Structure 1
Amino acid sequence: MERQLFRAHPWHGVTLGSQQPETVTVYIEVVPSDTVKYELDKETGLLKIDRPQLYSNIYPTLYGMLPQTYCGQKVAEFCKEKSGYEHLVGDGDPLDICVLTEKLVPHGDILLKAHPIGGFRMIDNGEADDKIIAVLQDDALYEKWRDVKDCPKGVIERLRHFFLTYKHAPGSQSNSCEIVSVYGREEAYKVIQYAHEDYLEKFGEPGKAFQHI
Protein backbone atom coordinates (compact mmCIF):
# COMPACT_ATOMS: atom_id res chain seq x y z
CA MET A 1 0.00 0.00 0.00
CA GLU A 2 1.34 3.42 -0.94
CA ARG A 3 2.27 5.60 2.03
CA GLN A 4 0.56 8.96 2.35
CA LEU A 5 3.30 11.54 2.84
CA PHE A 6 1.13 14.64 2.74
CA ARG A 7 -0.06 16.27 5.94
CA ALA A 8 -2.83 18.85 5.71
CA HIS A 9 -1.93 22.36 6.85
CA PRO A 10 -3.98 22.90 10.06
CA TRP A 11 -4.90 26.46 9.05
CA HIS A 12 -5.54 26.10 5.32
CA GLY A 13 -6.01 22.38 4.73
CA VAL A 14 -8.61 21.67 7.42
CA THR A 15 -12.17 22.99 7.29
CA LEU A 16 -14.20 24.57 10.08
CA GLY A 17 -16.62 21.68 9.69
CA SER A 18 -19.93 21.08 7.96
CA GLN A 19 -21.93 22.12 11.04
CA GLN A 20 -20.09 25.32 11.89
CA PRO A 21 -20.52 27.59 13.77
CA GLU A 22 -22.55 25.36 16.14
CA THR A 23 -19.87 22.65 15.99
CA VAL A 24 -16.37 23.61 14.89
CA THR A 25 -13.09 21.89 14.19
CA VAL A 26 -10.33 23.12 16.50
CA TYR A 27 -6.57 22.76 16.15
CA ILE A 28 -5.05 22.57 19.64
CA GLU A 29 -1.67 24.22 20.14
CA VAL A 30 -1.29 24.34 23.94
CA VAL A 31 -2.57 22.17 26.81
CA PRO A 32 -2.58 23.10 30.52
CA SER A 33 0.46 20.92 31.33
CA ASP A 34 2.72 22.70 28.82
CA THR A 35 5.58 24.73 30.30
CA VAL A 36 6.32 26.39 26.97
CA LYS A 37 3.91 28.17 24.66
CA TYR A 38 3.51 26.45 21.32
CA GLU A 39 1.93 28.01 18.27
CA LEU A 40 1.28 27.07 14.68
CA ASP A 41 4.02 28.03 12.25
CA LYS A 42 2.01 29.70 9.49
CA GLU A 43 4.41 28.82 6.69
CA THR A 44 4.98 25.12 7.37
CA GLY A 45 1.85 24.14 9.31
CA LEU A 46 4.04 22.58 12.00
CA LEU A 47 3.80 23.32 15.71
CA LYS A 48 6.70 25.44 16.97
CA ILE A 49 7.88 26.82 20.30
CA ASP A 50 6.90 30.46 20.64
CA ARG A 51 8.40 31.06 24.10
CA PRO A 52 8.71 29.50 27.56
CA GLN A 53 5.66 30.19 29.70
CA LEU A 54 6.39 33.36 31.63
CA TYR A 55 6.50 33.24 35.42
CA SER A 56 4.00 30.75 36.89
CA ASN A 57 1.31 31.20 34.24
CA ILE A 58 -0.12 28.09 32.63
CA TYR A 59 -3.06 27.90 30.26
CA PRO A 60 -6.18 26.96 32.23
CA THR A 61 -7.81 25.20 29.25
CA LEU A 62 -6.95 23.63 25.94
CA TYR A 63 -6.00 26.48 23.62
CA GLY A 64 -5.72 26.71 19.88
CA MET A 65 -7.16 28.18 16.73
CA LEU A 66 -10.02 27.75 14.27
CA PRO A 67 -9.00 26.58 10.78
CA GLN A 68 -9.84 28.83 7.82
CA THR A 69 -10.42 31.88 9.99
CA TYR A 70 -8.56 35.20 9.94
CA CYS A 71 -8.97 38.22 12.17
CA GLY A 72 -9.16 40.97 9.59
CA GLN A 73 -11.39 43.90 8.71
CA LYS A 74 -14.78 42.31 9.40
CA VAL A 75 -13.73 41.04 12.81
CA ALA A 76 -12.28 44.47 13.64
CA GLU A 77 -15.41 46.30 12.45
CA PHE A 78 -17.64 44.05 14.56
CA CYS A 79 -15.39 44.65 17.56
CA LYS A 80 -15.60 48.42 16.98
CA GLU A 81 -19.37 48.26 16.69
CA LYS A 82 -19.76 46.34 19.94
CA SER A 83 -17.06 48.07 21.99
CA GLY A 84 -17.32 51.67 20.80
CA TYR A 85 -13.56 51.75 20.24
CA GLU A 86 -12.22 53.41 17.10
CA HIS A 87 -9.08 52.74 15.07
CA LEU A 88 -9.04 48.99 15.65
CA VAL A 89 -7.60 46.45 13.24
CA GLY A 90 -7.67 42.67 13.27
CA ASP A 91 -4.58 40.97 14.67
CA GLY A 92 -3.90 39.14 11.40
CA ASP A 93 -3.99 35.68 12.95
CA PRO A 94 -6.45 32.78 12.98
CA LEU A 95 -9.25 33.14 15.53
CA ASP A 96 -8.20 31.92 18.98
CA ILE A 97 -10.30 29.46 20.97
CA CYS A 98 -10.29 27.98 24.49
CA VAL A 99 -11.84 24.53 24.90
CA LEU A 100 -13.21 23.39 28.25
CA THR A 101 -13.06 19.70 29.10
CA GLU A 102 -12.85 17.51 32.19
CA LYS A 103 -10.43 15.18 30.41
CA LEU A 104 -6.65 15.33 30.54
CA VAL A 105 -5.33 15.89 27.02
CA PRO A 106 -1.57 15.19 27.16
CA HIS A 107 -0.35 17.22 24.19
CA GLY A 108 -1.31 19.60 21.43
CA ASP A 109 -0.96 19.29 17.64
CA ILE A 110 -4.34 17.56 17.48
CA LEU A 111 -7.77 18.24 16.01
CA LEU A 112 -11.02 18.04 17.95
CA LYS A 113 -14.67 19.04 17.68
CA ALA A 114 -16.11 21.65 20.05
CA HIS A 115 -19.26 23.68 20.64
CA PRO A 116 -18.73 27.47 21.00
CA ILE A 117 -20.60 28.95 23.98
CA GLY A 118 -19.29 32.53 24.05
CA GLY A 119 -16.12 34.57 24.06
CA PHE A 120 -14.03 37.49 25.29
CA ARG A 121 -13.94 40.72 23.32
CA MET A 122 -10.26 41.38 23.86
CA ILE A 123 -8.24 44.31 22.54
CA ASP A 124 -4.45 44.05 22.54
CA ASN A 125 -2.39 47.06 21.47
CA GLY A 126 -5.18 48.39 19.26
CA GLU A 127 -5.92 45.01 17.67
CA ALA A 128 -9.13 42.99 17.92
CA ASP A 129 -8.05 39.70 19.51
CA ASP A 130 -11.23 37.79 20.34
CA LYS A 131 -11.00 34.60 22.37
CA ILE A 132 -13.80 32.13 21.65
CA ILE A 133 -14.84 29.89 24.55
CA ALA A 134 -16.07 26.39 23.70
CA VAL A 135 -16.73 22.99 25.27
CA LEU A 136 -15.38 19.70 23.96
CA GLN A 137 -17.96 17.74 22.01
CA ASP A 138 -19.41 14.85 24.05
CA ASP A 139 -17.66 15.95 27.25
CA ALA A 140 -19.60 14.36 30.11
CA LEU A 141 -19.28 17.36 32.44
CA TYR A 142 -19.03 20.47 30.29
CA GLU A 143 -21.22 19.73 27.28
CA LYS A 144 -24.33 20.65 29.29
CA TRP A 145 -23.08 24.26 29.20
CA ARG A 146 -24.66 25.77 26.10
CA ASP A 147 -23.80 29.42 26.81
CA VAL A 148 -21.31 31.29 29.00
CA LYS A 149 -24.21 32.23 31.27
CA ASP A 150 -24.43 28.52 32.15
CA CYS A 151 -20.82 28.46 33.40
CA PRO A 152 -19.88 29.02 37.04
CA LYS A 153 -18.59 32.56 37.45
CA GLY A 154 -15.22 31.27 38.64
CA VAL A 155 -14.52 29.49 35.35
CA ILE A 156 -14.93 32.68 33.32
CA GLU A 157 -13.05 34.81 35.85
CA ARG A 158 -10.11 32.41 35.81
CA LEU A 159 -9.89 32.65 32.04
CA ARG A 160 -10.25 36.43 32.14
CA HIS A 161 -7.49 36.75 34.73
CA PHE A 162 -5.16 34.56 32.68
CA PHE A 163 -5.51 36.55 29.47
CA LEU A 164 -5.05 39.86 31.28
CA THR A 165 -1.89 38.77 33.10
CA TYR A 166 -0.09 35.99 31.22
CA LYS A 167 2.35 38.31 29.45
CA HIS A 168 3.35 40.32 32.52
CA ALA A 169 5.52 39.92 35.60
CA PRO A 170 3.75 39.63 38.97
CA GLY A 171 2.99 43.09 40.31
CA SER A 172 3.46 44.79 36.95
CA GLN A 173 1.07 47.68 36.33
CA SER A 174 1.67 47.74 32.58
CA ASN A 175 -1.01 46.00 30.54
CA SER A 176 -1.65 46.41 26.83
CA CYS A 177 -4.60 43.98 26.92
CA GLU A 178 -8.18 44.80 27.78
CA ILE A 179 -11.25 42.59 27.86
CA VAL A 180 -14.08 44.99 27.18
CA SER A 181 -16.90 42.45 27.37
CA VAL A 182 -17.87 38.82 27.67
CA TYR A 183 -20.40 37.67 25.08
CA GLY A 184 -22.63 34.65 24.64
CA ARG A 185 -23.08 31.89 22.11
CA GLU A 186 -24.96 33.78 19.39
CA GLU A 187 -22.39 36.55 19.31
CA ALA A 188 -19.58 33.98 19.23
CA TYR A 189 -21.23 32.51 16.13
CA LYS A 190 -21.08 35.94 14.47
CA VAL A 191 -17.40 36.41 15.32
CA ILE A 192 -16.61 32.99 13.84
CA GLN A 193 -18.57 33.80 10.69
CA TYR A 194 -16.84 37.17 10.24
CA ALA A 195 -13.44 35.53 10.80
CA HIS A 196 -14.24 32.91 8.15
CA GLU A 197 -15.33 35.65 5.72
CA ASP A 198 -12.11 37.56 6.45
CA TYR A 199 -10.20 34.37 5.68
CA LEU A 200 -11.92 33.94 2.32
CA GLU A 201 -11.24 37.58 1.42
CA LYS A 202 -7.59 37.25 2.41
CA PHE A 203 -6.78 33.85 0.94
CA GLY A 204 -9.64 32.99 -1.41
CA GLU A 205 -11.22 29.57 -1.54
CA PRO A 206 -9.33 26.95 0.50
CA GLY A 207 -7.75 25.34 -2.56
CA LYS A 208 -6.06 28.64 -3.41
CA ALA A 209 -4.82 29.41 0.09
CA PHE A 210 -1.30 28.07 -0.39
CA GLN A 211 -0.64 30.61 -3.14
CA HIS A 212 -0.43 33.28 -0.42
CA ILE A 213 2.00 31.46 1.87
Structure 2
Amino acid sequence: MTSGRGNWQYPSGRLEGARHHSGGFAMDVTKIPAGKAPPSDIHVVIEIPQGSAVKYEVDKESGAVMVDRFLFTPMAYPAAYGFIPNTLADDGDPADALVLVPAAVVPGAVIRARPIGVLRMEDEAGQDEKIVCVPHDKIHPQFSGITEIDQLPAITRDAIEHFFTHYKDLEKGKWVKVTGWEGRESAEAAISQSLARAAK
Protein backbone atom coordinates (compact mmCIF):
# COMPACT_ATOMS: atom_id res chain seq x y z
CA MET A 1 0.00 0.00 0.00
CA THR A 2 1.54 3.30 -1.04
CA SER A 3 1.58 5.75 1.84
CA GLY A 4 2.36 9.39 2.45
CA ARG A 5 5.80 8.51 3.78
CA GLY A 6 7.23 9.33 0.34
CA ASN A 7 9.63 7.36 -1.82
CA TRP A 8 12.11 5.74 0.52
CA GLN A 9 15.49 5.25 -1.10
CA TYR A 10 18.35 3.10 0.14
CA PRO A 11 21.49 4.19 -1.72
CA SER A 12 24.50 2.16 -0.55
CA GLY A 13 22.14 0.08 1.55
CA ARG A 14 20.97 3.00 3.70
CA LEU A 15 17.69 4.80 4.08
CA GLU A 16 17.69 8.31 2.72
CA GLY A 17 15.88 11.03 4.63
CA ALA A 18 14.31 11.25 8.08
CA ARG A 19 17.07 13.69 9.05
CA HIS A 20 16.23 16.79 11.06
CA HIS A 21 18.73 19.68 10.93
CA SER A 22 17.05 22.36 13.03
CA GLY A 23 16.98 20.71 16.44
CA GLY A 24 13.86 19.53 18.22
CA PHE A 25 12.31 16.08 18.25
CA ALA A 26 12.79 13.99 15.13
CA MET A 27 14.31 10.70 14.09
CA ASP A 28 17.04 9.65 11.73
CA VAL A 29 15.78 6.19 10.88
CA THR A 30 18.97 5.40 8.98
CA LYS A 31 20.53 4.94 12.42
CA ILE A 32 17.90 2.47 13.64
CA PRO A 33 18.85 -1.11 12.80
CA ALA A 34 16.18 -3.49 11.53
CA GLY A 35 16.59 -5.47 14.74
CA LYS A 36 18.87 -7.34 17.10
CA ALA A 37 18.76 -10.47 14.93
CA PRO A 38 16.38 -10.00 12.00
CA PRO A 39 14.21 -11.50 10.69
CA SER A 40 13.28 -13.19 13.99
CA ASP A 41 14.20 -10.37 16.40
CA ILE A 42 13.28 -7.00 14.91
CA HIS A 43 12.70 -3.34 15.66
CA VAL A 44 9.41 -1.64 14.80
CA VAL A 45 9.16 2.16 14.63
CA ILE A 46 5.69 2.94 15.98
CA GLU A 47 3.71 5.53 14.03
CA ILE A 48 0.18 4.86 15.33
CA PRO A 49 -0.72 3.89 18.91
CA GLN A 50 -3.08 1.02 19.60
CA GLY A 51 -6.58 2.47 20.00
CA SER A 52 -5.91 5.53 17.84
CA ALA A 53 -8.36 6.84 15.25
CA VAL A 54 -5.63 9.08 13.81
CA LYS A 55 -3.27 7.83 11.10
CA TYR A 56 0.22 9.19 11.73
CA GLU A 57 3.23 8.73 9.46
CA VAL A 58 6.92 9.52 9.85
CA ASP A 59 7.96 12.10 7.25
CA LYS A 60 11.08 10.90 5.47
CA GLU A 61 12.58 14.36 4.97
CA SER A 62 12.26 15.81 8.49
CA GLY A 63 11.79 12.71 10.61
CA ALA A 64 8.73 14.37 12.15
CA VAL A 65 5.59 12.40 13.00
CA MET A 66 2.88 13.90 10.77
CA VAL A 67 -0.89 13.57 10.93
CA ASP A 68 -1.75 11.80 7.66
CA ARG A 69 -5.50 11.76 8.25
CA PHE A 70 -8.27 10.96 10.70
CA LEU A 71 -10.00 7.67 9.96
CA PHE A 72 -13.30 8.28 8.18
CA THR A 73 -14.84 5.24 9.84
CA PRO A 74 -15.62 5.12 13.59
CA MET A 75 -12.82 2.62 14.17
CA ALA A 76 -9.48 2.46 15.99
CA TYR A 77 -6.23 0.63 15.31
CA PRO A 78 -6.30 -2.77 17.05
CA ALA A 79 -2.54 -2.83 17.66
CA ALA A 80 0.45 -0.50 17.60
CA TYR A 81 1.27 0.14 13.93
CA GLY A 82 4.45 1.19 12.21
CA PHE A 83 7.32 -0.08 10.09
CA ILE A 84 10.52 -2.08 10.24
CA PRO A 85 13.44 0.31 9.63
CA ASN A 86 15.95 -0.31 6.86
CA THR A 87 13.53 -2.51 4.94
CA LEU A 88 11.77 -1.95 1.64
CA ALA A 89 8.49 -3.66 0.76
CA ASP A 90 7.09 -4.20 -2.74
CA ASP A 91 5.20 -0.90 -2.56
CA GLY A 92 8.38 1.15 -2.12
CA ASP A 93 7.82 1.85 1.58
CA PRO A 94 9.41 0.19 4.61
CA ALA A 95 7.68 -3.05 5.61
CA ASP A 96 4.49 -2.44 7.60
CA ALA A 97 4.19 -4.08 11.02
CA LEU A 98 1.68 -4.36 13.85
CA VAL A 99 2.71 -5.07 17.43
CA LEU A 100 0.21 -6.40 19.95
CA VAL A 101 0.92 -4.43 23.11
CA PRO A 102 -0.50 -4.28 26.67
CA ALA A 103 -0.54 -0.45 26.65
CA ALA A 104 -0.42 2.38 24.13
CA VAL A 105 3.03 3.18 22.70
CA VAL A 106 3.70 6.76 21.64
CA PRO A 107 4.41 7.59 17.98
CA GLY A 108 8.13 7.67 17.29
CA ALA A 109 9.03 5.00 19.84
CA VAL A 110 11.00 1.95 18.72
CA ILE A 111 9.95 -1.42 20.12
CA ARG A 112 11.83 -4.71 20.00
CA ALA A 113 9.49 -7.38 18.68
CA ARG A 114 9.10 -10.92 17.34
CA PRO A 115 7.13 -11.61 14.13
CA ILE A 116 4.50 -14.35 14.47
CA GLY A 117 2.61 -14.08 11.19
CA VAL A 118 1.58 -11.98 8.24
CA LEU A 119 -1.78 -10.70 6.99
CA ARG A 120 -1.95 -10.71 3.18
CA MET A 121 -4.16 -8.09 1.56
CA GLU A 122 -5.01 -6.31 -1.67
CA ASP A 123 -6.08 -2.69 -1.93
CA GLU A 124 -6.60 -0.03 -4.58
CA ALA A 125 -2.82 0.35 -4.91
CA GLY A 126 -2.01 -3.36 -5.28
CA GLN A 127 -0.67 -6.14 -3.07
CA ASP A 128 -0.09 -5.35 0.59
CA GLU A 129 1.00 -7.21 3.70
CA LYS A 130 1.14 -6.52 7.41
CA ILE A 131 3.71 -8.29 9.57
CA VAL A 132 2.07 -9.16 12.91
CA CYS A 133 4.38 -9.11 15.92
CA VAL A 134 4.44 -9.41 19.68
CA PRO A 135 6.83 -7.59 22.03
CA HIS A 136 10.11 -9.37 22.66
CA ASP A 137 10.03 -11.35 25.90
CA LYS A 138 12.45 -8.88 27.51
CA ILE A 139 9.98 -6.06 26.81
CA HIS A 140 6.95 -7.85 28.29
CA PRO A 141 6.30 -11.53 29.07
CA GLN A 142 2.59 -11.51 28.16
CA PHE A 143 3.20 -13.16 24.79
CA SER A 144 6.24 -15.25 25.72
CA GLY A 145 4.53 -18.51 24.74
CA ILE A 146 3.20 -17.17 21.43
CA THR A 147 5.33 -18.05 18.42
CA GLU A 148 2.68 -18.46 15.70
CA ILE A 149 -0.28 -16.36 14.61
CA ASP A 150 -2.73 -19.24 15.10
CA GLN A 151 -1.83 -19.34 18.81
CA LEU A 152 -3.55 -15.99 19.29
CA PRO A 153 -7.20 -16.02 20.37
CA ALA A 154 -9.47 -16.14 17.32
CA ILE A 155 -11.12 -12.88 18.41
CA THR A 156 -7.74 -11.09 18.23
CA ARG A 157 -7.09 -12.27 14.67
CA ASP A 158 -10.69 -11.51 13.71
CA ALA A 159 -10.43 -7.97 15.12
CA ILE A 160 -7.27 -7.26 13.10
CA GLU A 161 -8.81 -8.67 9.93
CA HIS A 162 -12.07 -6.78 10.48
CA PHE A 163 -10.23 -3.50 10.98
CA PHE A 164 -8.18 -3.73 7.81
CA THR A 165 -11.16 -4.96 5.80
CA HIS A 166 -13.32 -1.98 6.76
CA TYR A 167 -11.19 0.99 7.88
CA LYS A 168 -11.27 2.56 4.39
CA ASP A 169 -14.98 1.93 3.78
CA LEU A 170 -15.96 5.62 3.77
CA GLU A 171 -13.02 6.82 1.66
CA LYS A 172 -14.02 7.21 -1.99
CA GLY A 173 -12.03 5.13 -4.43
CA LYS A 174 -10.37 3.10 -1.69
CA TRP A 175 -10.94 -0.52 -0.73
CA VAL A 176 -9.24 -3.46 0.97
CA LYS A 177 -9.60 -7.20 0.48
CA VAL A 178 -7.95 -9.58 2.95
CA THR A 179 -6.58 -12.61 1.12
CA GLY A 180 -5.40 -14.66 4.09
CA TRP A 181 -3.14 -15.29 7.05
CA GLU A 182 0.27 -16.94 6.98
CA GLY A 183 2.53 -17.98 9.85
CA ARG A 184 5.86 -16.98 11.33
CA GLU A 185 7.97 -18.60 8.61
CA SER A 186 6.22 -16.54 5.92
CA ALA A 187 6.53 -13.39 8.01
CA GLU A 188 10.26 -13.90 8.47
CA ALA A 189 10.67 -14.63 4.75
CA ALA A 190 8.87 -11.38 3.90
CA ILE A 191 11.16 -9.46 6.27
CA SER A 192 14.26 -11.07 4.77
CA GLN A 193 13.09 -10.12 1.28
CA SER A 194 12.46 -6.53 2.35
CA LEU A 195 15.92 -6.34 3.95
CA ALA A 196 17.53 -7.62 0.75
CA ARG A 197 15.51 -5.17 -1.34
CA ALA A 198 16.62 -2.25 0.84
CA ALA A 199 20.27 -3.25 0.59
CA LYS A 200 20.34 -3.14 -3.22
**CA shift for structure 1 position 143:** 2.6
Supply the AA of the counterpart residue of 1:9: D
Q: Is the 8 A contact 1:123 1:177 kept in 2?
A: yes
CA–CA distance in structure 2, aligned partners of residues 140 and 17 of structure 1: 19
Q: Where in structure 2 are the equivalents of 1:1-213 lying within 5 Å?
A: 8-10=27-29, 12-71=30-89, 90-102=90-102, 104-138=103-137, 139-169=140-170, 176-201=175-200
Instruction: Say how many residue pairs are matched.
Output: 175
Q: Which has the higher helix share?
A: 1
What SS class does the counterpart of residue 154 from structure 1 fall into? Answer: helix
* Aligned residues: CA RMSD: 2.1
Which consecutive residues of structure 1, in runs of 5 or more, have no partner in the other structure?
72-89, 202-213
Q: Is the 8 A contact 1:69 1:196 kept in 2?
A: yes
Q: Residues 175 and 44 from structure 1, CA distance in 2 versus in 1: closer, same or farther, beyond 3 angstroms?
A: closer
TM norm structure 1: 0.75
Q: Which has the larger radius of gyration?
A: 1
Q: Is the 8 A contact 1:28 1:110 kept in 2?
A: yes
Q: Where does residue 5 of structure 2 map in the other structure?
A: none
**CA shift for structure 1 position 193:** 0.5
Q: Residues 178 and 55 from structure 1, CA distance in 2 versus in 1: closer, same or farther, beyond 3 angstroms?
A: closer
CA–CA distance in structure 1, aligned partners of residues 80 and 98 of structure 2: 6
Q: Residues 98 and 49 from structure 1, CA distance in 2 versus in 1: closer, same or farther, beyond 3 angstroms?
A: same
* Structure 1 segments (4+ residues) deviating >4 Å: 5-8
**CA shift for structure 1 position 55:** 2.5
TM norm structure 2: 0.80
Report Cα offsets for 1:101-143 as digits up to 9, x if no partner. Answer: 22x1252210110000001111222522110000011223223
CA–CA distance in structure 1, aligned partners of residues 94 and 150 of structure 2: 26
Q: Residues 180 and 33 from structure 1, CA distance in 2 versus in 1: closer, same or farther, beyond 3 angstroms?
A: closer
Identity of aligned residues (%): 29
CA–CA distance in structure 2, aligned partners of residues 111 and 98 of structure 1: 12
Q: Residues 8 and 169 from structure 1, CA distance in 2 versus in 1: closer, same or farther, beyond 3 angstroms?
A: closer
Q: Is the 8 A contact 2:124 2:174 kept in 1?
A: no
Q: Is the 8 A contact 2:51 2:78 kept in 1?
A: no
Q: Is the 8 A contact 2:120 2:128 kept in 1?
A: yes
Supply the AA of the counterpart residue of 2:92: G
